[in-house]
Structure 1
Amino acid sequence: MVTPRRLARSFPSASLRSDGGSELLSFAVAAAVVGALTGLAAASFRLLLTWLSDRRTGMAGWTHHHWWAAPLFVVGCSAATAVAAWLVRRVEPHAEGSGIPRVEAVVEGRTEPGRFRILPVKYAGGLLSIGAGLALGREGPSVQMGGNIAVIVAKLTRHRDTHLRLLVAGGAAAGLATAFNAPIAGGVFVLEELVKRFDPKATIATLIASAAGFASAHLLNPDGTEFHVTHLPDPQLSQSGWIALLGLLCGFAGASYNIGIMRALRIADGSRWPAEVRGALIGAGVGILALLAPTLVGGGDNLTQDALLGTGALAAVIGVFALRWVLGVVSYAACTPGGLFAPMLVLGTHLGLALGLVARHFDSGAPQPAALALIGMAAFFTASVHAPVTGIVLASEMTGTTTLLPPTLGACAIAMTLAMAMRTTGIYDLLTARAVKGAHANEGIAQP
């Protein structure tokens, strides 16, 4: 556990005052370089994932007219996932999973920064696993790639260890900012979840890197807000009951999702089957699902966008929620590169949409389903990650709307309270502890 005293040693606030002007300027320039390079890497990663997703969907549709191609499609998804698992197991174990827990451990000084090859393995492995259709997000790989780019820049420019960890935090902020077109949320997430304090120098690193990453990414991806929502009316106090109920549902669901993820990882860690075999089987299952319903696999941005439109049949919405819940847990247990953010957004929006459809049936004055979908996005994230400020900022920034800030704040507060009352820990804290344990185990094996 990281104590306040240990954090104070890692990020001494006095260091900002003790640095000379030239050293501070050098640090700021390094943060900008880290952000710019991260933006280019994460933007290209996103563009390639979009291209792979389109090709996967097109090929799945093509197999409906050419039955003989269906087995080849499934084998392709299986092989891609197996290769991603092989890259993690044989080439760079620290590239497993989201990558955010590994970055958090580095920022806190609980593990070493790692080797430069994390970057190419994370990039290629993420393209293979997410491109194959696993329910994983691009934000985790983008964050870890940003952190690894920061390690490379810090070592090439010979910054001291304290600066290196701060630059890693900045690279992480740039990665998230680029992944979701959310520069403010990128910085807030790093300060709230990774650094866990608004240290002046950490703030400089995250804000400069996030801004630079967002700017450079727009050279390749000039899109605006991540999701589009219709005009939503101002919330009413009479709707508080539905908001509170959504907060309770998201609190329970988010905490339960954490339990499911960690149980699946424990099963995977205790399995005697090689990671490549597990990955191949999971990839084959996802490939079969992609043949039947190509829009239900992958990161799920299309599902989140559909939910934010506020339409759909209740049974279908519940079905998507249940399917993506299981698919998200199983996909993460493949231990290939891929994040948790995007799958969480799918679950949160669909839980909110389901409640909105029920509410509208019984109460004409209830919030619009689209409004509850947006609030559910932030509340589910808050319950799982235990980062309410990031959840609120992320939902507002990704949709470009601030109308629902008051009810979103209330739902997140309730979701966070219930998750803590259930004695659950934030998912990234759980995964960071696992990453540190695994890193120490690998170091022990490597010693003579």
Structure 2
Amino acid sequence: MNVHVPVESESGQRSLVTLAALALLVGGVAGLVGALFRLALQQADRLRDLVVVWAQGRAAVGFIAVVALCAGAALVARWVVRRFSPHASGSGIPHVEAVLHGEIPPAPFILLPVKFIGGCLAIGAGLALGREGPSVQMGAVIGHLTGERFRRNWADCRALLAAGAGAGLATAFNAPMAGAVFVLEELVQKFEQRIAIAALAASSTAIAVAHLLLGDSPDFLMPPLDYPAPAIGPLFFVLGAAMGLFGVLYNRILLATLSAFEGSRLSGETKAALTGAAVGALVWFSPRLAGGGDGLTLAALAGWQDVFVLPFVLLVRFALGNASYAAGTPGGLFAPMLALGAQAGLFFGVVFGLLLPGVDIQPQAFAVVGMTAFFTGVVRAPLTGIVLVTEMTGSVTMLLPMLAACFAAMLAPTLLASAPIYESLRDRLLRKN
């Protein structure tokens, strides 16, 4: 039987195939840029550690050198943003969301080098910022420019922009599924078939390219966890509710810190330099507390326990993360959030173990679930959080506790009518434009 395919259907199929092919290209380029960004950050971290080791043998002169170096790097990062691409400030995810919703125009190419260089300077200086924000925004720029270069319509450019952003997240955390889910759940906030196809294509090639440079092991290798006993199941609901309330507090203080920084009469560069100087002082006394927080996350997942030290670490990282983001340099929120969630979850696990000595409790399990629950409480993207943490840890035994905790972490801020952080940041961005 001969089946007649309408011309419009054939045209639509050709358009979809073209979109898919371009998405594969976008993913490959975004994966390359994201992998190079990660490698550059690794070198920046090593350089910072070497400088600290050198400086600590030189007493006051060494201390001043570390503080000045961190302050100078943050200052230059902020100046580059102000001078060449203001939208490169901060995470970049609110900007990507606003573009996808048609509220502001896409960023030009200049944002890409500004985000790359500024991110290396700021994160390399030790500010508590994540690599994923720059990777997402750079991937979005690559996607949109590819669509324009091949003269695609706005719908295809939009799909490629979203796909590039997802590829950036996938590369930042070696989590391709999370990159695709993030596009649908957070960036466009609905299922669009063409965007879903583009996102899956871009994330797959991004990871294929990134693996050539970074390897294919999960970001956080950890020993296998046992399936939690049914008796401790209710504790994950408690943890989730606590992480949801912690997320509300985090969002409110972050927004208040941004308002305080913006209300200051000091120039943006001065505020960034002062923040960098404070980070430099922290780096001098405790290097492991600075930076994106991957080391702290790894320590939590390894079960590092000190019920008296953990609250101090949480407090320092909480304050450092807010100040670092408010400084206006390039850098994201995800990595610092995951570190906070892991530390808070570990603290709850240790406390539960002390309160219930007869129950077999793995504090590391609460660290893993805490990462997901806190992410959900802040961002309100539970599927992204679950997939992201599962891919980063390579562990599937915590899926059921994650679901329970994310339910409670989603419910608490919703009942309190607290807006997700990226929605609030996008509103602030639109008010400025």
TM exceeding 0.5: yes
CA distance in 2, matches of 1:274, 1:220: 39
Task: Report Cα offsets for 1:177-212 as digits up to 9, x if no partner.
Answer: 000000000110110001111111010110001111
Deviation at 1:367, TM superposition (A): 2.8
From 418, 421, 424, the counterpart of 1:430: 424
1:389 is matched with which residue? 383
The amino acid across from 2:395 in the alignment is T
CA distance in 2, matches of 1:78, 1:71: 10
From 38, 54, 65, the counterpart of 1:62: 54
Distance 1:163 1:241, change over 3 A: same
CA contact (8 A) 1:135 1:299 kept: yes
CA contact (8 A) 1:251 1:414 kept: yes
Q: Which moved more, 1:227-236 or 1:61-70?
A: 61-70
Task: Report Cα offsets for 1:59-116 as digits up to 9, x if no partner.
Answer: 1122121222321221111011001111111211010100111111111111101211
Identity %: 45
Deviation at 1:320, TM superposition (A): 0.8
Does 1:419 find its partner at 2:399? Answer: no
CA contact (8 A) 1:192 1:390 kept: yes
Give the superposed CA RMSD: 1.3
From 36, 42, 53, the counterpart of 2:34: 42
Structure 2 residues without counterparts, runs of 5 or longer:
1-7
CA contact (8 A) 1:28 1:208 kept: yes
Does 1:404 find its partner at 2:384? Answer: no
Distance 1:72 1:17, change over 3 A: farther
CA distance in 2, matches of 1:329, 1:408: 26
CA distance in 2, matches of 1:54, 1:387: 33
CA contact (8 A) 2:75 2:272 kept: yes
Deviation at 1:22, TM superposition (A): 2.5
From 3, 14, 34, the counterpart of 1:22: 14
From 11, 31, 55, the counterpart of 2:23: 31
CA distance in 2, matches of 1:437, 1:115: 21
Structure 1 residues without counterparts, runs of 5 or longer:
1-15, 441-448
How many equivalent residue pairs? Answer: 424
Distance 1:75 1:19, change over 3 A: farther
CA distance in 2, matches of 1:317, 1:255: 20
Question: What SS does the corresponding residue of 1:314 show, helix, strand or coil?
Answer: coil
Deviation at 1:397, TM superposition (A): 0.9
CA distance in 2, matches of 1:265, 1:112: 24
Task: Report Cα offsets for 1:340-388 as digits up to 9, x if no partner.
Answer: 0000001101111001111111213153100000000000000000001
From 224, 230, 239, the counterpart of 2:223: 230
CA distance in 1, matches of 2:11, 2:90: 36
CA distance in 2, matches of 1:309, 1:197: 36
Distance 1:421 1:40, change over 3 A: same
Question: What SS does the corresponding residue of 1:116 show, helix, strand or coil?
Answer: coil
Does 1:338 find its partner at 2:331? Answer: yes
Q: Which moved more, 1:267-276 or 1:320-329?
A: 267-276
CA contact (8 A) 1:242 1:367 kept: no
CA contact (8 A) 1:378 1:412 kept: yes
2:270 is matched with which residue? 277
CA contact (8 A) 2:16 2:194 kept: no
State TM-score, norm by structure 1: 0.93
State TM-score, norm by structure 2: 0.96
The amino acid across from 1:79 in the alignment is G
CA distance in 2, matches of 1:216, 1:125: 24
Task: Report Cα offsets for 1:382-415 as digits up to 9, x if no partner.
Answer: 0000001111111111100111111110001001
From 309, 312, 321, the counterpart of 2:314: 321
2:366 is matched with which residue? 372
1:149 is matched with which residue? 142
Question: What SS does the corresponding residue of 1:113 show, helix, strand or coil?
Answer: coil
